[in-house]
Amino acid sequence: MPIERIIQGLTEFQDNYFSTHQEFFQLLSLKQAPEVLLITCSDSRIDPNLLTQTKPGELFVIRNIGNMIPPHGTLNSSEGAGIEYAVAALNIKHIIICGHSHCGSMKALLQLNKLNEDMPLVYDWLKHHGEPIRRLLKENHKDCDEAELLRIAIEENVLTQIENLKTYPVIHLSLGRKPPATQGEECLLRSILALDIFLKSFNSYTATTCYKITRCPKNFFAPVILL
């Protein structure tokens, strides 16, 4: 995509959309009040606002390679700072961890040693934060074929990050008030799945299933996959 297209898009936004929605953007300039923290992958195919059909100001978004959440205590974690700000300052009500199919970081995690020379920073990130997933796959799914292994890695990654999220003091402090409902979301782009929190398996989405899961009792971290 040529840079001229970006410049053209900015110009069209300024001349057309912005000029006809000035009151909306004026309100946004005064404050932000999102109710949802969405943590997802840096993959360019994932557009949080497009996928959820939300407007600017409705989602507080954290993105990185592999939608990973370093456990609390990790040095210089921008993810941790973002989580703390979202919960403590913005008082968000829901946390969604969004994984996706065809995830390049999960593919790389399955062939980690190949990254060491060409992409050392990516290698270090995945080795450090993806080791629990690698270990789980090695111990429990070593006989799976490549496609099945990738599918399992994507799902287990979402579950692992939910557990990491629970290590943050700001999350525990929020439990004394109204806790954010922690959810996990895996975008398959062409299909919809939901995570059954009791069976701990990914099944076809139904409105009833989603209704029950998202209305779990307070203080219960409900990993929900909304596809």
Say if CB 186 and CB 205 are below 8 A apart: no
Tell me the average pLDDT of the chain: 80
pLDDT exceeds 90 at position 212: no
pLDDT classification of 99: cutoffs 50, 70, 90: confident
> Which of the residues 72, 98, 103, 187 is marked catalytic?
103
Residue 47: active-site member: no
* Range name among 91-100, 146-155, 210-219 with the lowest pLDDT average: 210-219
pLDDT the model gives residue 205: 44
Closest-CA residue to 26 (of 57, 62, 54, 50): 57
pLDDT classification of 10: cutoffs 50, 70, 90: very high
Measuring CA to CA, how many Å separate 80 from each of 72, 100, 163? 7, 22, 14
Say if CB 128 and CB 64 are below 8 A apart: no
Mean of the pLDDT values across residues 141-158? 90
Per-residue DSSP letters for 117-179? TT-HHHHHHHHHHHHHHHHHHHHH-TTS-HHHHHHHHHHHHHHHHHHHHTT-HHHHHHTTS--
* 98 among annotated binding-site residues: no
Give Cβ neighbours of residue 44 (< 8 Å, ≥ 6 apart): none
pLDDT exceeds 80 at position 183: no
pLDDT the model gives residue 137: 93
pLDDT classification of 213: cutoffs 50, 70, 90: very low
75, HSE (Cβ side, Cα atoms, 13 Å): 2
Residue 21: active-site member: no
Beta bridge partners of 204: 193
Report which DSSP code applies to 35.
Answer: S
Residue 100: active-site member: yes
Spatial distance between the Cα atoms of 40 and 163, rounded to a whole number of angstroms: 15
pLDDT classification of 221: cutoffs 50, 70, 90: very low
> Which of the residues 45, 128, 141, 172 is marked catalytic?
45
Residue 215: active-site member: no
Domain residue ranges of the chain, discontinuous segments joined by + = 37-44+53-214
pLDDT the model gives residue 150: 92
**101: helix, coil or strand?**
coil
> Which of the residues 21, 94, 98, 100 is marked catalytic?
100
> Which of the residues 41, 72, 98, 187 is marked catalytic?
41
The DSSP element (H or E) to which 98 belongs, if any, is strand 94-100
* 216 among annotated binding-site residues: no
Residue 98: active-site member: no
pLDDT the model gives residue 115: 93
pLDDT exceeds 80 at position 208: no
Spatial distance between the Cα atoms of 151 and 103, rounded to a whole number of angstroms: 9
Closest-CA residue to 28 (of 57, 52, 55, 51): 57
Say if CB 157 and CB 106 are below 8 A apart: yes
* 43 among annotated binding-site residues: yes
- The structure's pTM equals 0.79
Task: Give 37-44+53-214's CATH code, choosing from 3.40.50.720, 3.30.2320.50, 3.40.1050.10, 3.40.190.10.
Answer: 3.40.1050.10
